Amino acid sequence: MSGRLGHQPKGLGLRSVAGQVFALQAVIVVLLVTVGALALIFQARYDTERDARNRSLAAAEAFAHAPGLVDSLRAPDPTALLQTRAESVRQASGLDFLAVMTPDGIRYTDSRPELIGQRSTGDFARARGGESFTEIFHGEPSDAVRAIVPVRTEDGDIVGLVSTGIEIENVGNVVEDQLPLLLGTAAGALVLAVGGAALVSRRLRRQTHGLGPVEMTRINEHHEAVLHAVREGVLIIDADLRLLLANDEARRLLDLAPDAEQRHVNELGLDPRTAALLSSGRIVNDEVHLAGDRLLAVNVRPTAPYRGRPTGTVMTLRDSTELATVSGRAEVARGRLQLLYEAGVRIGTTLDVVRTAEELSEVAVPRFAEFVTVELLEPVLRGEEPSGAFTEMRRTALTGFRAEHPFQPVGDLIRCVVPTTPMAMALDSGHAVLVEDLHTADGWRAQDPEGAAAALAYGLHSLVAVPVLARGVVLGMANFWRAGTQEAFGEEDLTFAEELTARAAVSIDNARRFTREHEMAVTLQRSLLPRILPDLSAVDVAYRYLPAKAGVGGDWFDVIPLPGARVALVVGDVVGHGLHAAATMGRLRTAVHNFSTLDLPPDELLGHLDELIDRIDRIDRGSDGESPGGSGSERVSGAGSGFDAKAGTELAGPAEDRSAGGSTAGGSAGGDEGRERITGATCLYVIYDPADGRCIMARAGHPGPALVHQDGRVEFPEMPSGLPLGVGGMPFETTELYLPEGSRLVLFTDGLLVDRDRDFDTGLALLGEALATTGRSPQQACTDVLAALLVPAPDDDIALLVADTRRLEAARIAEWDVPADPAHVSRVRNAGAEQLASWGLDGIAFTAELILSELITNAIRYGAEPIRVRLLRDRRLICEIFDGSSTAPHLRYAATTDEGGRGLFLVAQFAERWGTRYTERGKVIWAELPLTTQDSELPAMAVPDLDALEDLAW
Arithmetic mean of pLDDT over the chain = 79
pLDDT at 781 over 70: yes
pLDDT tens digit sequence for 512-544: 888 887 777 777 766 667 777 788 888 999 999
Per-residue model confidence (pLDDT) at position 527? 67
Q: How far apart are CA 50 and CA 592, in angstroms?
A: 82
Per-residue model confidence (pLDDT) at position 228? 55
**288 bridge partner residues:** 297
Could you tell me what percent of the chain has a pLDDT over 70?
79
Max mean pLDDT range (219-233, 558-572, 639-653, 836-850): 558-572
Cα-Cα-Cα-Cα dihedral sign, residues 574, 579, 584, 585: positive
pLDDT band at 625 (very low <50, low <70, confident <90, very high): very low
pLDDT tens digit sequence for 100-147: 888 888 888 888 888 888 888 888 888 888 888 888 877 777 778 888
CB 530 within 8 A of CB 542: no
pLDDT band at 890 (very low <50, low <70, confident <90, very high): low
- Does residue 141 have a cis peptide bond before it, meaning omega lies within 30 degrees of 0? yes
pLDDT at 225 over 60: no
Q: Residue range 581-610: average pLDDT?
A: 87
Q: Who wins on pLDDT, 469 or 13? A: 469
Q: Residue range 798-827: average pLDDT?
A: 89
pLDDT at 768 over 90: yes
Q: Residue range 54-63: average pLDDT?
A: 82
* Strand order, beta sheet including 133-137: 97-101, 158-167, 144-152, 133-137
Per-residue model confidence (pLDDT) at position 803? 95
pLDDT at 954 over 50: no
Could you tell me what percent of the chain has a pLDDT over 90?
16
Which of the 8 DSSP states describes residue 130?
A: T
pLDDT at 2 over 60: no
Per-residue model confidence (pLDDT) at position 562? 92
* Strand order, beta sheet including 413-415: 413-415, 392-400, 371-376, 473-483, 460-470, 433-435
Task: Provide long-range contacts, Cβ within 8 A and 24+ apart, for 404-411.
Answer: 405/371, 405/458, 406/451, 406/454, 406/455, 406/457, 406/458, 406/460, 407/371, 407/373, 407/455, 408/451
pLDDT at 661 over 70: no
pLDDT band at 647 (very low <50, low <70, confident <90, very high): very low
Q: Residue range 890-913: average pLDDT?
A: 64
pLDDT band at 696 (very low <50, low <70, confident <90, very high): very high
Per-residue model confidence (pLDDT) at position 870? 92
pLDDT band at 626 (very low <50, low <70, confident <90, very high): very low
pLDDT at 377 over 60: yes
pLDDT at 697 over 90: yes
pLDDT tens digit sequence for 681-694: 899 999 999 999 99
Per-residue model confidence (pLDDT) at position 663? 33
Q: How far apart are CA 789 and CA 173, in angstroms?
A: 86
pLDDT band at 894 (very low <50, low <70, confident <90, very high): low
pLDDT at 635 over 80: no
Per-residue model confidence (pLDDT) at position 9? 44
Q: Is 316 helix (H, G, I), strand (E, B) or coil?
A: strand
Per-residue model confidence (pLDDT) at position 324? 58
Q: Would you tell me how many other CB atoms lie within 10 Å of the CB of residue 55? A: 18
pLDDT band at 465 (very low <50, low <70, confident <90, very high): very high
Q: Residue range 791-809: average pLDDT?
A: 87
Per-residue model confidence (pLDDT) at position 104? 85
Q: Who wins on pLDDT, 294 or 702? A: 702
pLDDT tens digit sequence for 529-582: 777 778 888 899 999 988 776 655 678 889 999 998 899 999 998 877 666 777
**474 bridge partner residues:** 469
Per-residue model confidence (pLDDT) at position 711? 92
Go through 169-201 and write b for each residue having 16 or more CB atoms within 10 A of its CB, e for each that does not: ebbeebbeeeeeebeeebeeebeebbeebeeeb
CB 359 within 8 A of CB 448: no
Task: Provide long-range contacts, Cβ within 8 A and 24+ apart, for 378-385.
Answer: 380/353, 380/475, 380/476, 380/508, 380/512, 381/353, 381/354, 382/515, 382/516, 383/353, 383/512, 383/513, 383/514, 383/515, 383/516, 383/517, 383/518, 383/519, 384/512, 384/516, 385/473
Max mean pLDDT range (36-45, 202-211, 427-436): 427-436
DSSP one-letter string for 753-813: T-BTTB-HHHHHHHHHHHHT-SS--HHHHHHHHHHHH--SS-SS-EEEEEEEE----GGGE
pLDDT at 631 over 80: no
pLDDT tens digit sequence for 158-175: 888 888 888 777 766 655
pLDDT band at 953 (very low <50, low <70, confident <90, very high): very low
CB 444 within 8 A of CB 450: no
* Alpha helices by DSSP H, 168-263: 168-208, 213-228, 248-254
pLDDT at 652 over 60: no
pLDDT tens digit sequence for 926-948: 898 888 765 544 444 444 454 54
pLDDT at 703 over 70: yes
CB 919 within 8 A of CB 926: no
CB 738 within 8 A of CB 728: no
Max mean pLDDT range (94-103, 685-694, 862-871): 685-694
Q: Residue range 409-428: average pLDDT?
A: 88
Report residue 22 CA to chain centroid gap: 62
Q: Who wins on pLDDT, 670 or 727? A: 727
